[in-house]
Structure 1
Amino acid sequence: MSIPVADKERREDGAPVGSLVTLVGNPRAGSRTRAAAEAAAEAIGRRIGHHGPGEVVDLAALGPHLLAPGPSAGVEVALELVAGAEVLVVASPTYKASYTGLLKAFLDRLPGGALAGTTALPLLVMGDPRHALAVELHLRPVLVELGAHVPTPGLALLEAETPDPGEVLARWADRVAPQVTAVLREGAGA
Structure 2
Amino acid sequence: MSVLLIAGSPSERSRSATLLAHVGQRLAQHRIHAETLNIRNLDAQALLQAQFDHPDVVKAAQQVAHAKVIVVATPVYKAAYSGVLKVFLDLLPQTALQGKTVLPLATGGSPHHMLALDYALRPVLQALGAKQILSGIYATDAQVTHLPEGGGVLHPDVASRVDVAVQTLLSEALNVRDASFAPVRFEQVRLSV
User: Could you state the TM-score of these two structures normalised by the residue count of structure 2?
Assistant: 0.76
Alignment of 1:37-186 (within 5 A): 37-43=20-26, 45=27, 49-52=30-33, 54-62=34-42, 63-68=44-49, 70=51, 71-148=53-130, 149-151=132-134, 153-163=135-145, 164-165=153-154, 167-180=156-169, 181-185=171-175
2: distance between equivalents of 1:140 and 1:146? Answer: 10
2: distance between equivalents of 1:114 and 1:26? Answer: 20
1: distance between equivalents of 2:166 and 2:17? Answer: 20
Determine if contact 1:41/1:89 at 8 Å carries over to the other structure: no
1:175 Cα deviation from its structure 2 partner: 3.0
State the identity as a percent: 34
2: distance between equivalents of 1:135 and 1:69? Answer: 25
Residue segments in structure 2 that go unaligned for 5+ positions in a row:
146-152, 176-193
User: Which residue number in structure 2 is paired with residue 9 of structure 1?
Assistant: none
Residue 20, structure 1, aligned to residue 6, structure 2: no
* Greater RCO (CA < 8 Å, at least 6 residues apart): 1
Q: For 2:160, give the aligned amino acid.
A: R
Q: Highest CA radius of gyration, 1 or 2?
A: 2
2: distance between equivalents of 1:72 and 1:26? Answer: 21
Q: For 1:140, give the aligned amino acid.
A: R
Determine if contact 1:122/1:154 at 8 Å carries over to the other structure: yes
Moved more, 79-88 or 123-132: 79-88
* Structure 1 counterpart SS, 2:71: strand
Q: For 2:48, give the aligned amino acid.
A: L
Residue segments in structure 1 that go unaligned for 5+ positions in a row:
4-18, 186-190
2: distance between equivalents of 1:127 and 1:133? Answer: 13
* Structure 2 counterpart SS, 1:36: helix
Q: Count how many residue pairs are aligned between Structure 1 and Structure 2.
A: 165
Q: CA RMSD in A?
A: 2.2
1:178 Cα deviation from its structure 2 partner: 4.5
> For each residue in 1:82-103, what CA deviation from the matched residue of structure 2 results, as whole angstroms up to 9, or x when unmatched?
2221121101110110101111
